[in-house]
């Protein structure tokens, strides 16, 4: 169990409380009339008026829909998975291919460097894949996965969700390491890093990226790999959306049987301190084939909380018992054990939610180098029930193959951490989040001293520009050079933003 289990449990309970439903993934169409003109804003915050003639020209140049505030589908397209972000772009382009993406980027440039947001799966927890008064490029109509089983390669379009990749690869008994919730976007996940159940065995998603095609800020479609535009390829692997919109990801596949051993060991929450401490002792010695995460979940009110360990073992079945034996021995039998042989694709969908937008969420997280008794104590002490919110603390493992890649091999430098510690609160969508956000900030202030840096894909609205830059560590200088070369006007700024060395007008 981890973040998606939190959202699943929280959203499920919220739905039971008859919270407002949303048609989360409805199809959209646009045959609406063009407005006479629209007021938009540039990335620098300057207001611009876009005349009807320019909008007509844009509509003539793209195949996919263009949506304005009054169009059906606009609300669905602007929303993210987290309803805490309620932003209203001036216009939305839904490309059907790279040509539309090029046109949208050129349009943003032609109009003074419009504020530009890029949305794939919409999982951003900093809200940066939508925007107020800017141009949103919503990639939800640009989803396709192509496999070459003989070459063990997948080509995935920039709007795809990771469940589609798992599905297409599994049929060939192949796999590539992605995240743990099937409706997460490949676009955000893979450019930011990509932790998941197989990462200790096969590395982060970026470690399995062989090439990209990307529309850069000049509107050109570029190919980047270790052999061609290598600096751009280096930056895309961990630099997120800083350099453009990836239209195609080429991913390395690995042979893997369709089933793994996976599920949860559940314990009473009263045992959390002991379980965290024992887990912290075990985790550094775990085999590469074994992924163990933990989650503490506290539902609203005084309902009993839950402490769980999530297991995924992708090695030979005959060696599973030996792999988990030290942990099992130190903890004794769990209150509930759901670990069994299971299709990897089923495990990957086990935390999906049909209505993730029932709860607004605020997340705070950081990488931890170790989990000792003092951190275990701090987690348990900070974890308190509240009548009106869910609280969760969870952990995603690093190590193994992730740690065998050097810090400067890609733009992602956090290679030698034990894992990613995340905390989150959830409250019914539409209600004020202020007291809950204050509570998670207070909780996190007790845990943050144990962290070393954070995962850019879990950026939260509290992160300041200086925190972001220092989090790139020694890779910042090279990233700045790549940014300056490919996006000198910082057109792509709604991300873990690296500033170009000499910003120029678009």
Ligand X SMILES: Cc1cc2nc3c(=O)[nH]c(=O)nc-3n(C[C@H](O)[C@H](O)[C@H](O)COP(=O)(O)OP(=O)(O)OC[C@H]3O[C@@H](n4cnc5c(N)ncnc54)[C@H](O)[C@@H]3O)c2cc1C
- Nearest approach, Cβ of 120 to ligand X (angstroms)? 3
Closest to ligand X by CB, 130 vs 272, is: 130
- Nearest approach, Cβ of 212 to ligand X (angstroms)? 8
Stretch that binds ligand X, among 69-77, 186-194, 324-332, 374-382 (CB under 6 A): 186-194
**Residues 105-124 vs ligand X: string with x where CB under 6 A?**
-------------xxxxxxx
Q: Which of 4, 111, 389, 415 binds ligand X (CB under 6 A)?
A: 4
Cβ–Cβ < 8 Å for 182, 349: yes
Q: Which of 65, 73, 187, 428 binds ligand X (CB under 6 A)?
A: 187
Window 451 to 490, contacts with ligand X (CB under 6 A) = 457-458
Helix or strand or coil: residue 297? strand
Binding of ligand X by 128 (CB under 6 A): yes
Binding of ligand X by 184 (CB under 6 A): yes
Take residue 437 and report the two structure tokens written for it. 């956000």
Find the angle CA(216)-CA(209)-CA(202) to the nearest 5 degrees: 155
Residues β-bridged to residue 272? none
CA dist 154 and 131 (Å) reads: 31
CA dist 354 and 22 (Å) reads: 10
* Residue 240 CB burial class (10 angstroms; 0-12, 13-18, ≥19): buried
| Other Cβ atoms within 10 Å of 85 Cβ, number | 20
Cβ–Cβ < 8 Å for 323, 232: no
Count of residues interacting with ligand X (CB under 6 A): 39
Helix or strand or coil: residue 274? helix
Stretch that binds ligand X, among 178-186, 251-259, 265-273, 380-388 (CB under 6 A): 178-186
CA dist 251 and 239 (Å) reads: 17
State the angle between helix axes of 434-447 and 373-382 in degrees (0 to 180), rounded to the nearest 10. 160
Q: Which of 112, 179, 238, 413 binds ligand X (CB under 6 A)?
A: 179
- Nearest approach, Cβ of 180 to ligand X (angstroms)? 4
Closest to ligand X by CB, 71 vs 310, is: 310
Q: Which residue has the tokens 């057109």?
A: 491
Bin 324: left if φ > 0, else alpha if -120 < ψ < 50, else beta.
alpha
Candidates 299, 256, 97, 229; CA nearest to 169 is 256
Bin 113: left if φ > 0, else alpha if -120 < ψ < 50, else beta.
left
Candidates 312, 269, 314, 271; CA nearest to 293 is 312
Closest to ligand X by CB, 247 vs 277, is: 247
- Nearest approach, Cβ of 466 to ligand X (angstroms)? 19
Binding of ligand X by 248 (CB under 6 A): no
Helix (H) or strand (E) holding 328: helix 320-331
Binding of ligand X by 494 (CB under 6 A): yes
Window 63 to 82, contacts with ligand X (CB under 6 A) = 80-81
- Nearest approach, Cβ of 3 to ligand X (angstroms)? 5
- Nearest approach, Cβ of 224 to ligand X (angstroms)? 12
**Residues 402-441 vs ligand X: string with x where CB under 6 A?**
----------------------------------------
Q: Which of 83, 163, 240, 299 binds ligand X (CB under 6 A)?
A: 240
Phi then psi for residue 146, to 5 deg, are -125, 135
- Nearest approach, Cβ of 24 to ligand X (angstroms)? 13
- Nearest approach, Cβ of 442 to ligand X (angstroms)? 22
Stretch that binds ligand X, among 36-44, 194-202, 226-234, 378-386 (CB under 6 A): 194-202
Q: Which residues bind ligand X (CB under 6 A)?
A: 3-4, 7, 80-81, 118-125, 128-129, 139, 158, 179-181, 184-185, 187-189, 191-196, 240-241, 245-246, 457-458, 494-495
């Amino acid at each position: 169990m981890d973040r998606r289990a939190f959202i699943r449990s929280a959203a499920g309970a919220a739905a039971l409380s008859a919270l407002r439903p949303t048609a989360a993934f409805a199809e959209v169409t646009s045959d609406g009339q063009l407005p006479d003109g629209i007021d938009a804003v540039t990335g620098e915050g300057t207001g611009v008026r876009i005349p009807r003639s320019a909008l007509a020209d844009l509509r003539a140049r793209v195949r996919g829909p263009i949506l304005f505030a009054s169009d059906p589908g606009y609300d669905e397209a602007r929303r993210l998975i987290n309803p805490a972000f309620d932003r209203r772009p001036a216009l939305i382009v839904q490309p059907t291919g790279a040509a539309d993406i090029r046109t949208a980027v050129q349009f943003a440039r032609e109009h003074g460097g419009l504020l530009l947001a890029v949305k794939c799966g919409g999982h951003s927890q900093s809200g940066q894949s939508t925007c107020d008064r800017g141009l949103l490029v919503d990639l939800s109509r640009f989803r396709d996965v192509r496999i070459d089983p003989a070459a063990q390669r997948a080509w995935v379009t920039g709007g795809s969700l990771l469940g589609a990749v798992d599905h297409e690869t599994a049929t060939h008994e192949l796999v590539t390491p992605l995240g743990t919730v099937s409706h997460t976007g490949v676009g955000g996940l893979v450019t930011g890093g990509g932790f998941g159940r197989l990462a200790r065995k096969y590395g982060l998603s970026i470690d399995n990226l062989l090439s990209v095609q990307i529309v850069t800020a000049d509107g050109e479609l570029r190919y980047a790999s270790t052999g061609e535009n290598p600096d751009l390829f280096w930056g895309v692997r961990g630099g997120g959306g800083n350099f453009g919109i990836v239209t195609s990801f080429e991913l390395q596949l690995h042979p893997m049987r369709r089933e793994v051993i996976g599920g949860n060991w559940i314990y009473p929450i009263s045992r959390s301190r002991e379980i965290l401490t024992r887990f912290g002792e075990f985790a550094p010695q775990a085999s590469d084939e074994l992924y163990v995460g933990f989650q503490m979940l506290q539902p609203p009110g005084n309902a009993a909380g839950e402490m769980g360990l999530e297991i995924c073992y992708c090695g030979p079945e005959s060696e599973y018992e030996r792999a988990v034996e030290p942990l099992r021995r130190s903890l004794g039998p769990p209150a509930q054990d759901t670990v069994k042989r299971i299709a990897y694709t089923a495990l990957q969908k086990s935390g999906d939610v049909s209505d993730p937008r029932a709860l607004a969420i605020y997340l705070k997280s950081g990488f931890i180098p170790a989990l000792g008794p003092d951190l275990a104590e701090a987690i348990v002490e900070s974890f308190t029930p509240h009548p009106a919110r869910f609280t969760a603390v969870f952990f995603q493992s690093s190590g193994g193959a992730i740690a065998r890649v050097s810090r400067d091999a890609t733009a992602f430098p956090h290679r030698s951490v034990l894992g990613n510690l995340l905390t989150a609160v959830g409250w019914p969508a539409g209600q004020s989040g202020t007291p809950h956000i204050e509570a998670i900030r207070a909780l996190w202030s007790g845990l943050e001293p144990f962290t070393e840096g954070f995962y850019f894909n879990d950026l939260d609205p509290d992160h300041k520009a200086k925190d972001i830059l220092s989090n790139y560590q020694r890779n910042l200088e090279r990233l700045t050079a790549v940014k300056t070369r490919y996006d000198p006007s910082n057109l792509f700024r709604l991300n873990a933003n690296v500033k170009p060395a000499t910003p120029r007008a678009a």
